[in-house]
Chain A
């Protein structure tokens, strides 16, 4: 009986440890497969062509600059919407809102986070893009602006919940200290609470950006998918195409192992690296602040 327990213990412990490493294995596997299918691009397409401004695979034009510009302009727009709204809402929920308002706001924000993006894209096509066309007198409402608006809202729940968590962890004594010195609640928020929660708020912004740049279905549905260079401010009013949408739209039609197929994996590789940078930056902010607070405590 006793050896039975020991054997069971041994096997279970092994399995658990193995599972513990799974996250590393999967990240490595994902990167490996992106490299395996994406790196041949360097042999098949000259670097100059890859970095050109024309994406037209049917005629073997594989310039990814328009796609990068599309992703950037939409993410920038989404950030401009999600950051002020998200942090404002987080401050409101954490610092100002009465209890009842908080109990309504938090689940609603969570609800938004749980809405499938395809539903948001669907409503975008139905409501946002026609309105934009009429309001701004554009030839089409399927624009970078539509994408930015919707992605701004999709990134909101991430920004709100991470920023609110950060504000919540600021010790109450900080605020009380500021109040005792005669600061108003408003002054306390700006001069004490938000600065103290700075690293968490930065993480919130980074993760929001990550969420926006990786979103696929919504941009595919509402941005018109025209691979044009979008480096000007006015490009926000024209159709654009993102890296994510390009993969989603074209992967279904390419034949495995073709130049086009490899190029799409190459774009996936670029996206993977961008998300890696964004997330490591976001978590580095968190790790660093933890270490500092540990020092304060001891």
Chain B
């Protein structure tokens, strides 16, 4: 009987397979580490007090990014104002009030679709509805509203999950003690689900803060010599600014580009870390 040289036995196959999968996993995460490393290494030297708090000048080839930082902050807060109450209320509806029927299934499909619509289509919609139809103009208001709708599905899904994780028995006991449904939600379910909801809200806002396409034609400004003074003003924003200085401006100093990118990911990742902390703290404290 001839042994086939290429025929591996089961254990060899397994070893080879595992090695291959480890390689795939490594390929997945290596670029992430490289990206973060590169940004910190190259961008770190650009960061200075003047860079953070200064205005850009000389066609943005000099100076700082303060208006972009402030703009992104405004947009994030604006997004939160609209999307957080609506998203949480919607999650409460799905978790506490909805029945398993066609309407609920339609809502769920709508949420899945909202989360899948390309960001630039949100931009188009924002332009059509908020900028032109409602005449809010290219403004913080229009951009925030556009980002809010985009953020909504993230907030709804994560909040609903957090609400559903609260044990059903709490609700039954509360109701048996004569509490109304809303009293039960407000006094027990919501407080218990709060850490999970906050985590979801932060993750949603994190995404909004880093988006460029939805604000392109709804509120982002190429350059502004002063900070916006009302919600009807357009604003600079970190992601759009990075887009502008890495594609639209010839002979842009690389250092400023890296510095801007680093500030942007610091902004976004600090939110991410905050969410992780909230989540792990709540898990440690939880009584059920």
Contact = CB atoms under 8 A, between A and B. Distances in A.
Touch between chains A and B, by CB atoms below 8 Å: yes
A277 to B, nearest CB: 10
Given A186-B13, A256-B132, A119 B264 contact: yes
13 contacts: A9-B182, A23-B107, A29-B125, A96-B21, A111-B32, A111-B269, A116-B211, A119-B265, A121-B246, A186-B13, A214-B117, A252-B216, A272-B118
B25 interface: yes
B120 A216 contact: yes
A286 B122 CA distance: 26
A205 to B, nearest CB: 14
Of all A-B residue pairs in the complex, the 4 with the closest CB atoms, nearest first, are A20-B93, A116-B210, A214-B118, A88-B24
Contacts of A193: none
A187 B116 contact: no
B128 A33 contact: yes
A264 B105 CA distance: 32
A123 B257 CA distance: 10
B76 interface: no
Contact of A279 (B113, B127, B181): B113
A221 interface: yes
Interface of B: 10-11, 13-14, 17-18, 20-22, 24-25, 27-29, 31-33, 35-36, 38-39, 85-86, 89-90, 92-94, 96-98, 105-125, 127-129, 132-133, 149, 152-153, 156, 180-183, 203, 206-207, 209-213, 216-217, 239-240, 242-243, 246-247, 254, 257, 261, 264-265, 268-269, 272, 276
Contacts, number: 265
Given A118-B239, A248-B213, A27 B110 contact: yes
Interface in A115-153: 115-123, 125-127, 153
Given A125-B246, A251-B123, 16 more contacts: A17-B97, A19-B89, A37-B124, A89-B28, A109-B29, A111-B272, A114-B206, A116-B212, A156-B28, A186-B18, A189-B17, A217-B213, A247-B123, A251-B124, A271-B120, A280-B113
A169 interface: no
Interface of B is mostly: helix
Interface in A13-31: 13, 15-17, 19-24, 26-27, 29-30
Given A22-B90, A23-B90, A251-B127, A126 B118 contact: no
Contacts of A287: 105
A251 B112 contact: no
A217 B113 CA distance: 21
B25 A34 contact: no
A248 B243 CA distance: 12
Given A12-B182, A115-B35, A85 B28 contact: yes
Interface string A62-92: 0000000000000000000000111011011
B109 A283 contact: yes
Contacts of B94: 20
Given A13-B181, A89-B28, A268-B120, A33 B129 contact: yes
Given A5-B180, A251-B127, A26 B121 contact: no
Nearest to A215: B118
A51 interface: no
Nearest to A160: B28
Given A85-B27, A186-B13, A30 B247 contact: no
A282 B153 CA distance: 16
Nearest to A287: B105
Given A12-B182, A114-B269, A121-B243, A265 B128 contact: yes
A108 interface: yes
A157 B25 CA distance: 12
Nearest to B128: A33
Contacts of B32: 108-109, 111-112, 115
Nearest to B118: A214
